[in-house]
Structure 1
Amino acid sequence: MNYKYFSFTFSDYVFTAAWLIVCIIIALAIYLRNAKNPDYRYFIPHFCWKIFLGIAFATFYVYTYGSGDTTAYYQGAECLKNLAYEDFGDYLHELISGPSRDYLPSYYNSHTGIPPIWVYKEPNSWFICKLASFFSFFTFNSYLALNLIFSFISTLITWRFFLFARSFLQVKVRYVAISILFIPTVGFWCTGLLKDTVVYCASLVLFMNLIKLLNGISLKNILFILLASYIIGSTRSFVLISILIPFFITVFFQYSRRAPFTIRLATRMIGIGMSVLLVFVYFRFSSSFEELSSQNLISTAETIYNDFQQNQGYTGKRYDLGITEFTAVNMLRATPTAIFTAIYRPFIWESNSFFMLLNGLESLVLLYFTLKLFRKRDKTLPPMSEKARIFFTICLFSCLIMAFFVGLTSGLFGVLVRLKAPLLPFFLLFVFHRITDSNTPVTNEKNALH
């Protein structure tokens, strides 16, 4: 099986056009059903934005590189689909078992095709192939059609998160729309057939359902939380850490704010004690956490960083945080630089291509809004509900943790702009709620969730 794409095939155009018609019909049906909701004035523009960027992303990869992560995921998905037709038992075995790093199973042959070896040996990447294989049964060997399906699913999940945020956040709708629906970096890198898209969409689902738990526990929310956590843990585990830890700590301390002083003091002392205990247990029995162990996290960070720094196969401009040896102390010292790098770089003068220049302009705009936050005279938080306060607190700390991992491990600006994309909506929401007038009506939460 050829791993290179030099142009789209006839089947790409035919089946992509067919799927595009289906997506347009579904999008129009959703819009017409909710046309009376003023927030839906953003739905069709968002749909067009995501579909356009999804196709632009696929075109850019195919006609610029001829190969890449996205086409490798497609090849792996096609191999799995062919394996299902040849022996469904072997297909199920691949779905529920981890890939072997030492050998390729014998059931991959000239009929099924040989998956890209580097993808098969990396469990996180092979998981994307498994996920994509479910949809490849309906795309008829078309990479572009498979990419379109991922783009459309990403559109629907992002829109649902927008409605969810609008249901209780006192932030003007245009700023919520900018933050969630129309960030160029997010639209380009978190739309098509990529690991970044899967991680971003799963993060939105996890975030929504964790916040919904504040209204009461339901089986549906628990199932979505478990599913999203499994997907994130199987693809980019540090993102799972950056969401769950701030959520549980924030909720624990937030709900004791209005309690009597003695109860508040006792619960917070217990909370601090539990946090210290959890940290102690984590480092004491770290080897039991496998990929999430402290040793593996440091080792993985070092491996990824060195790979991007030294491997000449990765082209593009590099940056250096000044870390010579990956230890817990050195990583802690590099924290401020790593966070700043992840959120605000590349700068315009660090750009060496047209796309990097656009990223530099986007970073400049983000820096401008951040500076406005510090220049605002009224430093008090706008009036908000308990849920909104928890939401923004989690947004801030999740972004800081995620930015630390991203800035620490990327090494290349081209990789940095991809990995940081999922944190940008959360960070922008936090910034906008501090610098804009919050006296704006929000949609009914019940309507927003349907």
Structure 2
Amino acid sequence: MNVWYFLANILPIGVLSYRWWNQQTTPFLKIIFWPAFLFKLSCGLLVGWLYQHYLSGGDTFVYQSQAEILSRYASQDPRNYLSFLLTGEYQSVYLYDVMKYREYSNSFFMVLLLHFLNFITGYNYYLNAVYFSLFSFFGCWQLTVIITKIFPVTKVAVALAFLFFPSVVFWSSGVLKESILVGSTAWLLAVVLQLVYLPDKNKVFARSIILLIAVFICFKIRFYFAVAYFPLLAGFALVEMAARQWHLTGKQKLFFYLSALLVLGVGASFLHEAVNLDYFFREVINSYQTSRLATTRQAFIDLPNLKPTFASLIQYAPKAISSAIFRPIIGEINSVEYLLTGLENLLILFLAVISLLSFWKHKPILPITLVISLLIYILLLAALIGFSTANLGSVSRYKVAFLPFLLYLLLQTGANLKIINRLESWVNRLLTIKVN
């Protein structure tokens, strides 16, 4: 690694991270910042190291190699390069032939992001991994900060879910699509919560720009996830702001919320031709079959008669959702990494059971519209992942898209919150600090 590139990147990152830490006035946020920050960046480097030395490179190094081609092409043929960026049209036969992901929009979006980073990192994969991890951390950190302000009782829950849960942090770090996805979805929710609960006329324009940026990134990196996420967040935001303005009762708010979801959901179906149900069903089945054929392990999500119809999808939905959330279980696959994954899934199952058993006695602290929105998002993504991916190893990575949201809902509900509060009190005594 060129020492000048290293210093030119690490020093600004150090200054920026110190500024994030120094801006915090809440003792809890100051305490957790550096452990969470270092944990995130370490996982980003570890992801790259594992893929490089044990997983034959994977997509992450293919993205890097493709980005290097595009970055070098910028200096070889700047005119056609600029034309390509502005129009998306390949003026160069060479570039058309070497761009592997030209037909895959989200993969090519990864290549575009990386090729821009190459100009400032000197084509260094691990510095690029630091920036991807930094973006993911920023989104999760912003959400943690905003929730600490709005729903302070749940601050430990959101920190554990987004900043410290091992598989969430690991699979949303480094040069992976999930880093951009988790960072942008968390960032988007943080901005929406600000607009709803922390209105500030002087910041409306800036927040609107940030909102549009987060929306764009979500849309580009995982189109189908965005189609599910946007109407749910919009419905929640509109109803909560209307309820405050017009003093709606709980029943009225729920009625308007469900109506808003219906209207926004129908509207989302016109966002892109790929939302066509026939096309969507075929793509899901094709993805599942491809994944099933590539799966060599005995344990997988088995949907033997899955067909591209509503009836078939509804029939297999419980199995697809439960498999995406709770599998692999301990002993299902005999390896160390799957043992660790199984232990995590066992913990998730334990939290889910406690949450369900204590739900009616201990209602969620979060607004019911937010709970329903996140819950629908979780179930839709779990179903989509379960339907389209047979390989449990891939599922363990892909489910990071919804897992932190699920963990947050579970940890802030019922008896789980009491456990979290006791943990917080124990940590406070251990650190001998006074938290208001």
TM-score in same-fold range (> 0.5): yes
State the match for 1:238 in structure 2: 224
State the match for 1:396 in structure 2: 375
Q: 1:293 aligns with which of 268, 276, 281?
A: 276
State the match for 1:413 in structure 2: 392
Q: Residue deviations 1:1-60, cap 9 Å, x none?
A: xxxxxxxxxx37885576445534443344345476432110110111011111110000
Distance 1:214 1:107, change over 3 A: same
Equivalent position amino acid for 1:436 in 2: L
State the match for 1:147 in structure 2: 129
Equivalent position amino acid for 1:297 in 2: F
1:341 aligns with 2:327: no
Question: How far did residue 309 of structure 1 move?
Answer: 0.9
Distance 1:406 1:12, change over 3 A: farther
Distance 1:275 1:381, change over 3 A: closer
Q: Residue deviations 1:144-201, cap 9 Å, x none?
A: 2211221222222221221112111143433322111011112111111111111111
Distance 1:397 1:262, change over 3 A: closer
Q: 2:215 aligns with which of 201, 212, 229?
A: 229
Contact 2:321 2:386 in 1 (8 A): yes
Contact 1:316 1:413 in 2 (8 A): no
Equivalent position amino acid for 2:77 in 1: D
Q: How far apart, in 2, do the equivalents of 1:280 and 1:17 lie?
A: 50
RCO higher in structure (CA 8 A, sep ≥6)? 1
Q: 1:48 aligns with which of 38, 50, 61?
A: 38
Q: TM-score, normalised by structure 2?
A: 0.83
What is the DSSP-based 3-state SS (H/G/I as helix, E as strand, rest coil) of the residue aligned with 1:401?
helix
Contact 2:225 2:381 in 1 (8 A): yes
Q: Residue deviations 1:379-427, cap 9 Å, x none?
A: 242556xxx4443332222211221211211211111011110211111
Q: How far apart, in 2, do the equivalents of 1:120 and 1:292 lie?
A: 21
| 217-226 or 126-135: bigger deviation | 217-226
Equivalent position amino acid for 2:400 in 1: A
State the match for 2:428 in structure 1: none
Q: Residue deviations 1:196-217, cap 9 Å, x none?
A: 1111111112222222332558
State the match for 2:417 in structure 1: 436
Contact 1:317 1:414 in 2 (8 A): no
Distance 1:50 1:255, change over 3 A: closer
Contact 1:146 1:193 in 2 (8 A): yes
State the match for 2:66 in structure 1: 76
State the match for 1:162 in structure 2: 144
Q: Which has the higher helix share?
A: 2
Q: How far apart, in 2, do the equivalents of 1:132 and 1:18 lie?
A: 17
State the match for 2:18 in structure 1: 28
Long gaps (5+) in structure 1: 1-10, 442-450
State the match for 2:93 in structure 1: 106
| 43-52 or 142-151: bigger deviation | 142-151
State the match for 2:434 in structure 1: none
Equivalent position amino acid for 2:95 in 1: Y
What is the DSSP-based 3-state SS (H/G/I as helix, E as strand, rest coil) of the residue aligned with 1:120?
coil
Q: How far apart, in 1, do the equivalents of 2:183 and 2:268 lie?
A: 28
State the match for 2:286 in structure 1: 303
Question: How far did residue 251 of structure 1 move?
Answer: 4.3
Q: How far apart, in 2, do the equivalents of 1:289 and 1:361 lie?
A: 39
Contact 1:346 1:359 in 2 (8 A): yes
State the match for 2:429 in structure 1: none
Q: How far apart, in 2, do the equivalents of 1:192 and 1:281 lie?
A: 34
Q: How far apart, in 1, do the equivalents of 2:328 and 2:146 lie?
A: 31
Question: How far did residue 321 of structure 1 move?
Answer: 2.8
Instruction: Work out the number of aligned pairs and report it.
Output: 415
State the match for 2:431 in structure 1: none
Equivalent position amino acid for 2:215 in 1: S
What is the DSSP-based 3-state SS (H/G/I as helix, E as strand, rest coil) of the residue aligned with 1:364?
helix
What is the DSSP-based 3-state SS (H/G/I as helix, E as strand, rest coil) of the residue aligned with 2:174?
coil
What is the DSSP-based 3-state SS (H/G/I as helix, E as strand, rest coil) of the residue aligned with 1:137?
helix
| 402-411 or 152-161: bigger deviation | 152-161
Q: How far apart, in 2, do the equivalents of 1:263 and 1:32 lie?
A: 40
1:376 aligns with 2:355: no
Q: Residue deviations 1:255-288, cap 9 Å, x none?
A: 67686899976x87777667666767777xx6x8
Q: How far apart, in 2, do the equivalents of 1:274 and 1:47 lie?
A: 38
1:424 aligns with 2:403: yes
Residues 191-210 of structure 1 aligned to structure 2 (within 5 Å): 191-210=173-192
Contact 1:170 1:433 in 2 (8 A): no
Distance 1:349 1:188, change over 3 A: same
Distance 1:262 1:228, change over 3 A: closer
Q: How far apart, in 1, do the equivalents of 2:298 and 2:237 lie?
A: 41
Contact 1:399 1:427 in 2 (8 A): yes
1:220 aligns with 2:213: no
Report percent identity of matched pairs. Answer: 22
State the match for 2:335 in structure 1: 353
What is the DSSP-based 3-state SS (H/G/I as helix, E as strand, rest coil) of the residue aligned with 1:349?
coil
Question: How far did residue 323 of structure 1 move?
Answer: 3.7
Long gaps (5+) in structure 2: 425-436
